[in-house]
């Protein structure tokens, strides 16, 4: 098999980001979309020029026309449909957050091992050259010893008619955009935190619309993250070490001409670090193709993904119980 035939499991708005990346790859082909009704699937397929439209998720998973699926369903459905897709013999790229509990994560990982299919979390920014350059600077020691990571991702939601505000569907800003600065901190530190503290503002729907967290790592290292649905768009990351700091003004979102990656040494002038141009979602698609077609291990490991979910759960516990929470409590 030299081509991965992709199916979209839902007609979610986020699909519009992945579709061009699949079509830009010589190793992938978008062949199908599934919805809860045939008319919805057909309309979506016609708009995006997708050959096959399925009237149910089950029908697409049963099709021999599809090799891999992109799961962009609401958060509470990620685990259920990832497992069903794996058991149907499909490879799975699952949107973040991967799942809402460690039991779900473990069931998903077990299904991947049992079926021999690829399962990975869709953190697109991790595959971009900018993030990989950041990692190279840290691993090479250019920043010295890392002492602090500060990162945030805020936006103003506007309409209250939004699945991000449904508690039982995994709503809340930490699950939605807060996982980006959380995952960046884990990437920089090379491990999950030892303990966390958290504070949140709950909106009228009962989900966090502002969340701030502090994470404590071994070696006297800290990370501070925040996310919100209630303020104008803002994303930012700063990695501070003993030899200087790196500043990213757009660490997670669509990268354009406003992107900057800057190094501020302890002495001297700031240095602009060049970053190769690459469409934000292309890297995660290429990674899936390498894993499926070449047998390469996925760049983002399932251990990292499990630790993402564990850390979110610890932060929510810290905010709800107003105490320091140790990640060992979730082992």
Banded model confidence at residue 159, pLDDT cuts 50, 70, 90:
confident
pLDDT surpassing 80 at residue 20: yes
Widest CA span in the chain: 63
Q: What is the pTM of this model?
A: 0.96
pLDDT average, residue stretch 209-237: 96
When mean pLDDT is compared across 119-133, 199-213, 218-232, 241-255, the lowest value belongs to 241-255
pLDDT tens, 179-189? Answer: 999 999 999 99
pLDDT average, residue stretch 150-168: 92
When mean pLDDT is compared across 1-5, 75-79, 182-186, 195-199, the lowest value belongs to 1-5
What is the per-residue pLDDT for 258?
A: 80
> Per-domain residue ranges for the chain?
4-122, 126-282+309-330
pLDDT average, residue stretch 246-261: 84
What is the per-residue pLDDT for 254?
A: 61
The two tokens of residue 235 are 């994303």
CATH for the 4-122 domain, from 3.40.50.720, 3.30.70.3290, 3.30.160.40, 3.40.47.10 = 3.40.50.720
pLDDT tens, 262-320? Answer: 999 998 899 999 998 889 999 999 999 999 999 999 999 999 999 999 999 999 999 99
Rounded to whole angstroms, the Cα distance separating 215 from 186 reads 10
What is the per-residue pLDDT for 185?
A: 98
What is the per-residue pLDDT for 256?
A: 64
Rounded to whole angstroms, the Cα distance separating 328 from 331 reads 5
Mean pLDDT of the chain, nearest integer: 96
pLDDT tens, 42-53? Answer: 999 999 999 999
Closest CA to 255 of 271, 284, 235: 235
Banded model confidence at residue 257, pLDDT cuts 50, 70, 90:
low
Closest CA to 281 of 122, 98, 147: 122
What is the per-residue pLDDT for 1?
A: 59
Inter-residue contact 147 to 289 (CB < 8 Å): no
Report the length, in residues, of the chain. Answer: 331
CATH superfamily of domain region 126-282+309-330: Dihydrodipicolinate Reductase; domain 2 (3.30.360.10)
Closest CA to 217 of 247, 240, 239, 186: 186
3-state secondary structure the chain: CCCEEEEEECCCCCHHHHHHHHHHCCCEEEEEEECCCHHHHHHHHHHHCCCEEECCHHHHHCCCCCCEEEECCCHHHHHHHHHHHHHCCCEEEEECCCCCCHHHHHHHHHHHHHHCCCEEEECHHHHCHHHHHHHHHHHHCCCCCEEEEEEEEEEECCCCCCHHHCHHHCCCHHHHHHHHHHHHHHHHHCCCCCEEEEEEEECCCCCEEEEEEEEEECCCEEEEEEEECEEEEEEEEEEEECCEEEEECCCCCCCCCCCCEEEEECCCCCEECCCCCCCCCHHHHHHHHHHHHHCCCCCCCHHHHHHHHHHHHHHHHHHHHCCCEEHHHHC
pLDDT average, residue stretch 163-167: 93
């Amino acid at each position: 098999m030299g081509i991965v035939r992709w199916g979209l499991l839902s007609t979610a708005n986020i699909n519009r980001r992945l579709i061009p990346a699949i079509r830009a790859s010589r190793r992938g082909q978008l062949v199908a979309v599934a919805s809860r009704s045939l008319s919805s699937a057909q309309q979506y397929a016609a708009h995006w020029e997708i050959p096959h439209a399925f009237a149910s998720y089950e029908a697409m998973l049963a099709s021999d026309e599809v090799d891999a699926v992109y799961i962009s369903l609401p958060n509470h459905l990620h685990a259920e449909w990832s497992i069903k897709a794996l058991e149907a013999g499909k490879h799975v790229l699952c949107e973040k957050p991967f799942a809402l509990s460690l039991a779900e994560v473990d069931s998903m990982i077990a299904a991947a091992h049992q079926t021999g299919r690829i399962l990975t979390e869709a953190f697109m920014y991790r595959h971009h050259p900018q993030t990989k350059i950041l990692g190279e600077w840290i691993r090479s020691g250019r920043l010295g010893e890392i002492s602090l990571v500060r990162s945030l991702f805020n936006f103003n939601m506007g309409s209250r008619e939004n699945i991000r505000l449904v508690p039982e569907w995994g709503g809340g800003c930490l699950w939605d955009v807060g996982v980006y600065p959380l995952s960046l901190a884990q990437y920089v530190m090379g491990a999950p935190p030892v303990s966390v503290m958290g504070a949140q503002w709950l909106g009228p729907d009962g989900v966090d619309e502002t969340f701030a967290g502090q994470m404590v790592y071994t070696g006297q290292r800290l990370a501070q993250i925040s996310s919100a649905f209630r303020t104008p768009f803002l994303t930012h990351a700063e990695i501070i070490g003993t030899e200087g700091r790196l500043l990213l003004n757009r660490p997670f979102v669509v990268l354009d001409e406003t992107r900057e990656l800057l190094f501020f040494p302890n002495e001297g002038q700031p240095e602009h670090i060049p970053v190769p141009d690459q469409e934000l979602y292309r890297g995660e698609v290429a990674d899936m193709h390498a894993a499926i077609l070449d047998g390469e291990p996925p760049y983002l490991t399932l251990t990292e993904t499990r630790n993402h979910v564990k850390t979110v759960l610890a932060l929510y516990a810290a905010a709800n119980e107003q105490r320091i929470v140790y990640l060992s409590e979730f082992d």
